[in-house]
């Protein structure tokens, strides 16, 4: 049935999408009135950052290549000092969620526009959410000042993303869209984007992993990443994200893989309590049975771990995760109970077909 009451806030950002769209960077920078931009990346992506710096030409102010998972505050502080020393008035981030996260930490402390050039499917470039870690404790928040002013999606930059990481990152993105479909602040507008994002990944991911260099498949997947990221940026996440946060935070497990493994089970938990979301996922996955089973079957076809035990979680960790996941209440289509969470985690630990 049609959702007859809803709100929608358009986020103020410019997006350019396409092969070689990176070639437009210099003209966009000039149009935005930026004079000296630093480039932020992980150590592994230094080479691509150098090509971005070259595109900035006389408006480039150097590369800070120390982005890493979870944005440690020490790294963020050094990055801000680097930006100040170089007289930077903008920050160009190239990479996945870790690089975008560091750019956001810089912008939060030292106001400057972010230009994001995503090379994974994480979707952070589409959200006002930031996070940083001090002494192992992750703090997150939301601020319009960390929303990129410009996002350049260039599928050519994603062909180097290994098949395993592409698959896990794509499932991570699909999880944003699934939760946007049943979010407390869902809207028909965002649901359109979310469903189309899931569809794009369901079609593209199996092809991306068998033919990672194929630009058509990469283009479709990156389009999906944009839609799923935008769905994340516009809504409040529920059980799946809270649970993955609890697993990732307490056990320090890899982010995208954790999301990829858990998604079929969080869908199984919520599916019958969220019929509109269930219908949208079924349409996107071309199935008329269980959305959870269809997601699980998709993961089985991808070169990713399929059970939480495969990435280092054990049955003895369940107590810690359940306790963390129940600490703060949040909206979810189905009531989140200790018993329900234990069942979900046992299934995800074993990687068994969801029921």
Write phi, then psi, for 205 (nearest 5 degrees). -60, -45
Q: How far is the CB of 213 from ligand NAD (least distance, A)?
A: 12
Say if residue 142 is exposed, middle or buried (CB neighbours under 10 Å; 0-12, 13-18, 19+).
exposed
In terms of CB distance, is 45 or 290 closer to ligand NAD?
45
Q: How far is the CB of 33 from ligand NAD (least distance, A)?
A: 26
In terms of CB distance, is 235 or 332 closer to ligand NAD?
235
In terms of CB distance, is 168 or 294 closer to ligand NAD?
168
In terms of CB distance, is 49 or 294 closer to ligand NAD?
49
Q: How far is the CB of 123 from ligand NAD (least distance, A)?
A: 5
Handedness of CA 298, 302, 307, 313 (dihedral sign): negative
**Which residue ranges make up the site for ligand NAD (CB under 6 A)?**
42, 44-45, 69-70, 95-99, 101, 119-120, 122-124, 127, 129, 131, 157-158, 160-161, 165, 169, 255-256
Q: How far is the CB of 259 from ligand NAD (least distance, A)?
A: 9
Q: How far is the CB of 43 from ligand NAD (least distance, A)?
A: 8
Q: What does the H/E/C string look like for the chain? A: CCCCCCCCCCCCCEEEECCCHHHHHHHHHHHCCCCCEEEECCHHHHHHHHHHHHHHHHHEEEEECCCCCCCEHHHHHHHHHHHHHCCCCEEEEEECHHHHHHHHHHHHHCCCCEEEEECCCCCHHHCCEEEEEECCEEEEEECHHHCCCEEEECHHHHCCCCHHHHHHHHHHHHHHHHHHHCCCCCCHHHHHHHHHHHHHHHHHHHHHHHCCCCHHHHHHHHHHHHHHHHHHHHCCCCHHHHHHHHHHHHHCCCHHHHHHHHHHHHHHHHHHHCHHHHHHHHHHHCCCCCHHHHHHHHHHCCCCCCCHHHHCCCHHHHHHHHHHHHHCCCCCCCCCCHHHHHHHHHHHHHCCCCC
Q: How far is the CB of 223 from ligand NAD (least distance, A)?
A: 16
Q: How far is the CB of 58 from ligand NAD (least distance, A)?
A: 27
Torsion of CA 282, 288, 293, 296, to 10 degrees: -50
Q: How far is the CB of 60 from ligand NAD (least distance, A)?
A: 20
In terms of CB distance, is 201 or 294 closer to ligand NAD?
201
In terms of CB distance, is 101 or 351 closer to ligand NAD?
101
In terms of CB distance, is 95 or 113 closer to ligand NAD?
95
In terms of CB distance, is 176 or 306 closer to ligand NAD?
176
Q: How far is the CB of 101 from ligand NAD (least distance, A)?
A: 5
In terms of CB distance, is 45 or 187 closer to ligand NAD?
45
> Which residue has its beta carbon closest to ligand NAD?
97
| Cα 123 to Cα 336: distance, rounded to the nearest angstrom | 26
């Amino acid at each position: 049935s049609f959702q007859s009451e809803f709100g929608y806030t358009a986020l103020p950002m410019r997006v350019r999408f396409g092969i070689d769209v990176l070639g437009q960077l210099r003209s966009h920078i000039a149009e935005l009135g930026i004079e000296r931009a630093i480039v932020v990346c992980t150590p592994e992506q230094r080479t691509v950052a150098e090509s971005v710096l070259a595109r900035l030409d006389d408006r480039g102010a150097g590369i800070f290549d120390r982005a890493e998972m979870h944005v440690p505050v020490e790294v963020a502080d050094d990055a801000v000092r680097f930006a100040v020393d170089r007289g930077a008035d903008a920050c160009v981030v190239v990479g996945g969620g870790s690089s975008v996260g560091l750019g956001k930490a810089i912008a939060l402390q030292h106001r400057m526009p972010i230009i994001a050039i995503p090379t994974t499917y994480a979707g952070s470039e589409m959200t006002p959410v930031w996070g940083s870690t001090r002494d192992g404790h992750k703090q997150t928040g939301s601020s319009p000042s960390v929303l990129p002013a410009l996002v350049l999606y260039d599928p050519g930059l994603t062909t180097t993303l290994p098949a395993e990481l592409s698959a896990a990152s794509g499932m991570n993105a699909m999880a944003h869209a699934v939760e946007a479909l049943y979010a407390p602040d869902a809207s028909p507008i965002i649901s359109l984007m979310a469903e189309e994002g899931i569809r794009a990944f369901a079609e593209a991911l199996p092809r991306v992993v068998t033919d990672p260099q194929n630009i058509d498949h990469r283009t479709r997947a990156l389009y999906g990443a944009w839609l799923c990221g935008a769905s994340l940026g516009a809504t409040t996440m529920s059980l799946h994200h809270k649970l993955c946060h609890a697993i990732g935070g307490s056990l320090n497990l890899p982010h995208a893989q954790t999301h990829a493994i858990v998604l079929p089970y969080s869908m199984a938990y919520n599916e019958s309590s969220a019929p509109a979301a269930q219908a949208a996922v079924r349409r996107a996955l071309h199935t008329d049975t269980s959305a959870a089973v269809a997601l699980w079957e998709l993961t089985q076809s991808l070169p990713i771990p399929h059970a939480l035990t495969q990435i280092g979680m054990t049955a003895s960790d369940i107590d810690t995760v359940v306790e963390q996941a129940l600490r703060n209440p949040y909206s979810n289509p189905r009531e989140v109970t200790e018993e329900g969470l234990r069942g979900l985690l046992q299934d995800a630990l074993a990687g068994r077909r969801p029921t």
